Copies of this chain bind each other. A is one copy, B any other.
Amino acid sequence: PDLEAGTAALERQNQLTKPRGSLGRLEELAQWIATWQGSSTPEMRRPRISVFAGNHGIAARGVSAYPSEVTAQMVQNFINGGGAVNQLSEAADADLRVYELDLDRPTRDFTTGPAMTEEGCARAMAYGMMAVEQGLHVVCLGEMGIANTTSAAALCTALFGGEPSDWVGPGTGVDARGLARKAETIAAGLEANPGALTDPLEALRCLGGYELAAIAGAVAAARLARTPVVLDGYACTAAAAVLAKLDPRALDHCIVAHRSAEPGHALLLEKLGKQPLFDFGMRLGEGSGAALAIPILKAAVACHTGMATFAEAGVSGQAH
């Protein structure tokens, strides 16, 4: 992070025609973007939304309200422009990319052993890293993968402790029996993968999924590229949390767009010390919440760079 650029951005904020601090979080966002872009006049013309899709072996255990073929069907829906994230991307004038990770070959059911081989997990992470190009002004991350809120809850249980029941929620809409199945699946997964409890990357490999590994890779690559990142909901934030467990500063270049309606997300945000931008009760995933943050980032940058200073506008300062 370029702290000098951040300080210069703050100095500019304090000269703009408004009481100091009166744009609240918009001012913080402008300074945060300046710090990571390394410029006191940051830009937001090139926002990217990257959605990673993967399939999960545990889907066969009845942990989702939808069958696993919906992952590929929804990817096709994105390609055809029919998903929520397509509309949100277009409304934000952003560039949307959808990445399929071997949808025909789901991860292994993690109640029987690691979800991914070491090579499979590493390849998915590398795939996510390559999705971050130079010159993007922000990267918004999202996921699609039937059964992945169970995978996310398993990851969170391994990374942060507590009971599986603390971390599971209705996801796409399971009933009480489905919720119990999710918790049982996670308990079995933790028992089958003892190494997941002591090593965050091993937790990702054993309990995560290809799309979640890709997200972790993208977050890491964005850090190297000094590109600000917007995380979406529960599954996306859980994937990024792997890096936070490796290094508490690893997500300083990330904000979380929203607090998802999935109950585990609020708990996860608390563990990460992240204050989301908004809470609209959304629980769709596919990058939808992250995409909705783009106009807010654009607004923050527009105020920061476009407003007149008190001197330029000839506006009187405070009376005393």
Contact = CB atoms under 8 A, between A and B. Distances in A.
Interface residues of A, number: 63
A70 B306 contact: no
Contacts of A82: 17, 306-308, 312-313
A91 B277 contact: no
A26 B26 CA distance: 21
B296 A19 contact: no
Total copies of the chain? 2
A198 interface: no
A315 B77 contact: yes
Interface string A101-127: 000000000000000000000000000
Given A82-B307, A313-B76, A65 B278 contact: no
B308 A77 contact: yes
A22 B282 contact: yes
B88 A302 contact: yes
Contact of A172 (B19, B76, B80, B302): B19
A298 interface: yes
Interface in A278-307: 278, 280-284, 288, 292, 295-296, 298-299, 302-303, 306-307
Contact of A24 (B88, B280, B298, B316): B280
Contact of A295 (B87, B295, B315): B295
A83 interface: yes
Contact of A316 (B70, B296, B307): B70
Nearest to A16: B84
The CB with the most chain B CB atoms within 10 A, among A69, A80, A314, A318, is that of A318
26 contacts: A17-B83, A19-B65, A19-B284, A22-B261, A22-B283, A22-B284, A25-B280, A26-B282, A64-B319, A65-B318, A65-B320, A66-B317, A66-B319, A67-B316, A70-B316, A73-B314, A74-B315, A82-B308, A86-B307, A87-B303, A88-B303, A90-B302, A90-B306, A91-B299, A292-B296, A295-B296
